[in-house]
Amino acid sequence: MIPRYVRPSVGTIGTLGLKKIKMSARPTTAYIMLGERCDSNCLFCTQRKENGENDRLSRVIWPKYRTEEVMDVLKEKKGLFSRICFQTLDYKGVVDDVLSLSEELRGIAPISVSIVPTGENEMRKLRDAGVEYMSVALDAANPKIFEKVKGAGVGNRFSWQGHWNALKTSVKVFGKGNTHLIVGLGESDEDLIKTMIELKNLGIYTALFAFTPVNWGRAPDMGRYRAIQLAHALIYRKNWRNFEFTDGKLTDFGVKKAFLEELTISAFLTSGCPGCNRPFYNERPGKEPYNYPHPINKEIAKRALEMSISHIHLRRP
Ligand code: SF4
């Protein structure tokens, strides 16, 4: 049975025409949140259990709509989105909800789901219902930070090893895996880059996010984020591994600048499943975005490259 309500992102609602919404970039994926309340308590998440009622995830607002109303428009406007992504909270019955919605919507657009670790049988059911990509978000780039922000440290049942096991199983079932990593949770450049290399070796793609401070912490420095985006492009597009670090800080990409220039037109765009652009997830409208939701020109690409190079030349205080 399909859930009675879903929560599409405000950009999805505007693009579907369910409400007039002014947007400077429209989402190319329909983002739909499932779940009223989350049973988990991840420290960086606005939907966490201890945060009470909240209609935001990161910077995005997710209003409640009747599921049938949203499904009808999605079907009527088939082709409007490159992808449908279910962003699920952690609650009892989440897999059944994704299954029933995927069965209803298969064929409208390829389907992704971002979900807590599930068993292999459930993954097979999701795949058979039409899910193409299953993302299990590590979020943190090292086990200590994982424990602190989404493991036992916040009362969650999740563990670093459990997430890696689920990712490996997802590769077995789906033929590919997907995860999310957040830059700015206190990890080092080396943690992020070595984790991405390990993920790539296993056939798992990384979608990069910038930490969004709501009640605590600081957003990552833009130069650092640009450097990590370039490292991501080198790892995933060039299979590169020879980075240099000093005390965990990236000090050299290990390639010539001309080689980096080749990558800049796409390295700073949103990373994720094909067709995912997540406008304003991490950014404020009017400010330079961490992840560009649309193609950029050469001038912007050049500036972003300079920013990443100045990060690697920065010495630790
Ligand atoms: S990368 Fe994008 S489409 Fe894929 S699961 Fe994450 S948010 Fe959804």
**pLDDT value at position 281?**
83
Q: Ligand 1 pocket, 276 CB below 6 A? A: yes
Specify the residue for token string 């990712």: 167
Q: Separation of 182 CA from ligand 1 center, angstroms? A: 13
Tell me the residue type at 6. Answer: V
Q: Separation of 55 CA from ligand 1 center, angstroms? A: 19
Q: Ligand 1 pocket, 57 CB below 6 A? A: no
**Category of 86 on φ-ψ map: left (φ > 0), alpha (ψ -120 to 50) or beta:** beta
pLDDT single digits (tens) 2-17 = 999 999 999 999 999 9
Rounded to an integer, what distance in angstroms lies between the CA atom of residue 293 and that of residue 138?
Answer: 22
Mean pLDDT value across the chain: 94
User: Residue 214 pLDDT more than 90?
Assistant: no
Structure tokens at 105: 């919507």
User: Residue 68 pLDDT more than 90?
Assistant: yes
User: Angle of helix 222-238 relative to helix 298-313, nearest 10 degrees?
Assistant: 100
Predicted confidence band of residue 306 (pLDDT cuts 50, 70, 90): very high
> Among candidates 247, 246, 263, 265, which has minimal Cα distance to 255?
263
Domain residue ranges in the chain: 5-313
Output the residue whose Cα is nearest ligand 1's atom 4: 273
> Among candidates 128, 125, 16, which has minimal Cα distance to 70?
16
pLDDT single digits (tens) 39-54 = 999 999 988 887 766 6
Q: Separation of 135 CA from ligand 1 center, angstroms? A: 7
Q: Separation of 246 CA from ligand 1 center, angstroms? A: 32
pLDDT single digits (tens) 122-144 = 999 999 999 999 999 999 999 99
User: Residue 27 pLDDT more than 50?
Assistant: yes
Output the residue whose Cα is nearest ligand 1's atom 1: 272
State the closest ligand 1 atom to the C-alpha of 273, by its place in the atom list counted from 1. 4
pLDDT single digits (tens) 231-263 = 999 999 999 999 999 999 999 999 999 999 999
Q: Separation of 145 CA from ligand 1 center, angstroms? A: 22
Q: 5-313, which class in CATH?
A: alpha beta
- At residue 260, the 3 state secondary structure works out as helix
State the closest ligand 1 atom to the C-alpha of 87, by its place in the atom list counted from 1. 8
Mean pLDDT of 168-191: 98
Mean pLDDT of 287-297: 94
State the closest ligand 1 atom to the C-alpha of 207, by its place in the atom list counted from 1. 1
**pLDDT value at position 317?**
42
State the closest ligand 1 atom to the C-alpha of 83, by its place in the atom list counted from 1. 3
Rounded to an integer, what distance in angstroms lies between the CA atom of residue 180 and that of residue 276?
Answer: 13
Q: Separation of 218 CA from ligand 1 center, angstroms? A: 23
Q: Ligand 1 pocket, 273 CB below 6 A? A: yes
Rounded to an integer, what distance in angstroms lies between the CA atom of residue 77 and that of residue 274?
Answer: 20
Q: Separation of 317 CA from ligand 1 center, angstroms? A: 36
